[in-house]
Amino acid sequence: MKQDNKLIVNAGSAGSLQVVLAVLTAMGKDYPIPVLVVLHRNNTFESSLEELFASRTRLVIKEVEEKDAIQPGVVYISPADYHVLIEQDRTFSLDYSERVNYSRPSIDVTFRSAAEVYGSGLIALLLSGGNADGAEGMQWVRDGGGLTIVQDPQTAEVPYMPQQVLLRMTVDIVAPTEELPELIHSLAYK
């Protein structure tokens, strides 16, 4: 499959930031697949995620803006308090509708939207977190032919989120935290 037909959505909540940073560190400067990071985060203060992520990778780091075209070699960060949707023309759309699973951005909303556009080219990674956001969306990814990866709950700082996925469905890969960076790195070259 051509690289421009792929997208990685790396998502999580409480306890996932360090894993996201480790995954970014493992990506080389020429990582060919766009990456969207969806994290539950507080919107009451100015975030420095762009600077933090940029300190771990030589890839371009960019907070999602309305109608941004999805480009290879870019790590996109979901903005606080907006759902991130993927349009058929492979641009982003931001939505301020009601919270899903008490969350905005909602991982479920993004997984579903990305699955509808990318189908078998979608790689969905769900990490540590304290609610069930992402469990329903993972089923959409699976139904669309995408690759489903869950952080092993036994190695997650907050195991509830990945546990909820595993209670509902069989995923393609359950990986311990320490194996995730190399796994995601290797998927770009398969």
Active-site residue (options: 13, 16, 103, 106): 13
40 labelled catalytic: yes
Active-site residue (options: 16, 106, 128, 133): 133
- Helical axes 180-187 vs 17-26, angle rounded to 10°: 50
Active-site residue (options: 16, 40, 78, 108): 40
Question: Which among 36, 33, 41, 34 is positioned nearest to 16, based on CA atoms?
Answer: 41
**DSSP string covering 34-61, please?**
-EEEEE----SS---HHHHHHTT-SSEE
Task: Name the pairing type of β-strands 74-77 and 35-39.
Answer: parallel
Query: Mind telling me the catalytic residues?
Result: 13, 40, 133
